[in-house]
Amino acid sequence: MKKIIVTIDGWSSTGKSTLAKQLAKALGYIYVDSGAMYRAITLYFLRNHVDWTDRQGVKKALKQINIEFQKNPKTETSEVYLNGENVEYVIRDLVVAEKVSEIAAIRDVRDFAVAQQRKMGDHKGIIMDGRDIGTVVFPRAELKIFMTADSSVRVERRFKEMFEKNPNITIEEVKANLEMRDFIDSHREASPLRPAKDSVCLDNTNLTQRQQFQKAMDWIQKKISASKY
C-alpha cells in the first residue's frame, strides 16, 4: 500500500500528539513529535544557561545538540533523546513549557529543527505534529490536519495532564501559560501558527478520542486511495 505524509498542526492542548500516535500505530507509520524537538532544545538551553537573545551563542549551542527518536519496546511509542539521554518526561515540565514557545520562535532554532524534520520524511510513511508542519516543513504533504478546540476545554485538558505531575499547579497558571503560548505561536515572525490553505479542520471540542481517530482515518484512507501508485 502506498504511504503518504500526514501533518497535524494546531493549538496547544488539542490532542495533536495523542491522535498522531494513534494513527501512526494503526498505520505502521513513523511518528515524530516536532514539539518534543523544540522542548528538547529548550531543555538544553536552560541546562546550559544559553542566552537565546545572543544569535552567535544560539548557533554555537545548536551545533552541540543531537536529537533523535527511539521506539520504547514496552509502550511501542517513540521517545525523544537529547544527546543520548531519554528526556521524554523531563521536557514536559512547566519550566520548559514556559520557555518553549519563546525559543521555538527563534529563526535559527526553527531552521535547525525543520532541516532535521524534512530528512525524517524522505521515505514518507510518517505522521508529524506541531505548529508549522503543513505550512513549512511538508507543504506538499498529501494530508494536512489542523486541530482546534474551545480554549476552556484546552485549559482543562492541560490542567489534568500537568496536575498528575505537579499537584501544586493551579488552573490559573495553566490558563496563563496556554494564552501566552497561543499568542507567541500565532504572532512569531518565523513560521507563525496558521492553517495551511489545503488543510482540513478537526475541531474536537465535543469529540471523543475514538471519534476523532475515526474521522482522521477516513481522511487518510481517502488520500491513500486517491494517490497514484
Q: Say which CATH number the domain at 92 has.
A: 3.40.50.300
Structural domain total, the chain: 1
Distance CA 60, CA 98 (A): 23
Residue 145: name the closest of 35, 36, 4, 16 by CA: 16
The pLDDT-based confidence of 70 (bands split at 50, 70, 90) is confident
pLDDT value at 229 more than 60: no
Asked if the structure places residue 60 within a domain, the reply is yes
109-153 tens-digit pLDDT? 999 999 988 988 888 999 999 989 999 999 999 999 999 999 999
pLDDT in the model for residue 203: 98
Q: 71 or 177, which is more confident?
A: 177
pLDDT value at 228 more than 70: no
On average, the pLDDT of the chain sits at 92
Dihedral angle computed from the Cα positions of residues 146, 147, 151 and 154, in that order, rounded to the nearest 10 degrees: -150
Dihedral angle computed from the Cα positions of residues 23, 30, 132 and 19, in that order, rounded to the nearest 10 degrees: 20
Asked if the structure places residue 227 within a domain, the reply is no
Asked if the structure places residue 190 within a domain, the reply is yes
Distance CA 199, CA 202 (A): 10
| Least confident among 85-94, 99-108, 182-191 | 182-191
Asked if the structure places residue 37 within a domain, the reply is yes
Asked if the structure places residue 222 within a domain, the reply is no
24-47 tens-digit pLDDT? 999 989 888 888 999 999 999 999
Average pLDDT score over residue span 169-187: 93
pLDDT in the model for residue 136: 92
Asked if the structure places residue 221 within a domain, the reply is no
Average pLDDT score over residue span 208-212: 96
Average pLDDT score over residue span 171-197: 91
pLDDT in the model for residue 226: 86
Asked if the structure places residue 220 within a domain, the reply is no
Asked if the structure places residue 88 within a domain, the reply is yes
Q: Which three cell numbers stand for residue 59?
A: 548557533
Q: Which amino acid is at 126?
A: I
Range of the domain at 113: 5-213
